[in-house]
Amino acid sequence: MKTYLSPAKINLGLKILSRRSDGYHNLESIFLKLGWGDEIAFEDSASFELESENLLPDSRKEEFEKVSERGNPEKNLLFKTFLFCRELKPEIQGVRIHLKKRIPPGGGLGGGSSNAAILIRNFFRSEEFTEDFLKKVSGLGADIPFFLLDSHAYVTGIGEVLEPLEISSGYGILVFPDLNVSTGEAFQALKKPLQETGSLESCKSVPEDLLNLVRSGDWSGMDARIQNDFEPFVLGKFPDLALLKNEMLQSGLEFVSMTGTGSTFYGLVKEFGVLPGVISRLKSKFSKYQVIDFHF
């Protein structure tokens, strides 16, 4: 039984362009795939079975338990993805999934979508990932097509328009605060007016200056170039997160931002040697927050 990494992702910038008539939002972002995440393995089975190990921080354990085999696994995206795969390939009988859950739900890291993509790869070859197939997949979760790629990506549309990107390798940290941000409330709080329709013609390709920054790993230059549209609202509502970001910036990290609608923050550096001191400093000042390192 082979075990696969089900990687987390972070947003390098997150710009909300417009609201669509179907309730989704058009966005612009760079999705960076991390060398850290959940572990997932599969075995043949006559039905859908989920066996999970909940390795989440204590403040996040309960949310996953609700959709684990100890709660209602039929609400888990993995179960919905299994039904999707079996509908396209009726010969699929079942699958036993072994999951070590490390990516917190609702943290802007794409954990559920990443798990779903690994399951899809278990049943389908990459040659089958046609445009029509990916469109159907995005109905399960807008981030799933990204996780079916073998690369990072410049992302537009609702997350399904992908331009693969080469990004300089580097290191970083994730900080998981012990609080949750309501995605719905975060969208409602955006100060810019949202349109019912919006053209994406201006953002079909990654801007050249931004491309140069990510290819060279010039993380310190990113701060003046990109931002997460949700940060002003989140930092205003949760002063402790504003303190966290300020401490991260002073600790030696080259770029610091929130991913998704929060509340997870990350920091990037070129060299790993900076991180042990950063992690020690943050853990001493924010003892209730989980801090982990990653590479990409």
**Domains of the chain, each with CATH number or no CATH:** 3-165 (3.30.230.10), 171-295 (3.30.70.890)
From the CB of residue 80, how many other CB atoms can be counted at a distance below 10 Å? 16
Long-range CB pairs of 248-254 (<8 Å, 24+ gap) are 248/175, 248/278, 248/282, 251/277, 251/278, 251/281, 251/282, 252/277, 252/278, 253/172, 253/173, 253/278, 254/219, 254/220
pLDDT per residue as tens digits for the range 169-204: 999 999 999 888 888 899 888 865 556 554 444 456
Q: Is the pLDDT score of 220 beyond 50?
A: yes
Mean pLDDT lowest among 42-51, 159-168, 181-190, 256-265: 181-190
Cα gap 23→85, rounded to integer Å: 26
Instruction: Give me 102's structure tokens.
Output: 């490390």
Active site residues: 9, 143
Cα gap 211→228, rounded to integer Å: 17
**Strand 3-19 versus strand 95-101 pairing type:** unpaired
Mean pLDDT for 253-258 is 98
Cα gap 272→286, rounded to integer Å: 21
User: Of 5, 38, 26, nearest to 203 (Cα)?
Assistant: 26
pLDDT per residue as tens digits for the range 64-100: 999 999 999 999 999 999 999 999 999 999 999 999 9
Rg of the chain over Cα atoms, rounded to whole angstroms, equals 19
Mean pLDDT lowest among 12-26, 114-128, 210-224: 12-26
Res. 53 pLDDT band, cuts 50 70 90: very high
Mean pLDDT lowest among 35-49, 139-153, 204-218: 204-218
Instruction: Give me 189's structure tokens.
Output: 């709080």
Which has the higher per-residue pLDDT, 19 or 95? 95
Mean pLDDT for 6-31 is 91
Instruction: State the burial class of residue 213 (Cβ atoms within 10 Å of its Cβ: 0-12, 13-18, 19+).
Output: buried
Q: Is the pLDDT score of 232 beyond 90?
A: yes
**Confidence at residue 201, expressed as pLDDT on a 0 to 100 scale:** 45
Res. 25 pLDDT band, cuts 50 70 90: confident
Angle, vertex CA 61, rays to CA 56 and CA 62, nearest 5? 165
Cα gap 34→284, rounded to integer Å: 25
Instruction: Give me 72's structure tokens.
Output: 């209602």
Contact 95, 121 (CB under 8 A): no
Res. 238 pLDDT band, cuts 50 70 90: very high
**Confidence at residue 180, expressed as pLDDT on a 0 to 100 scale:** 83
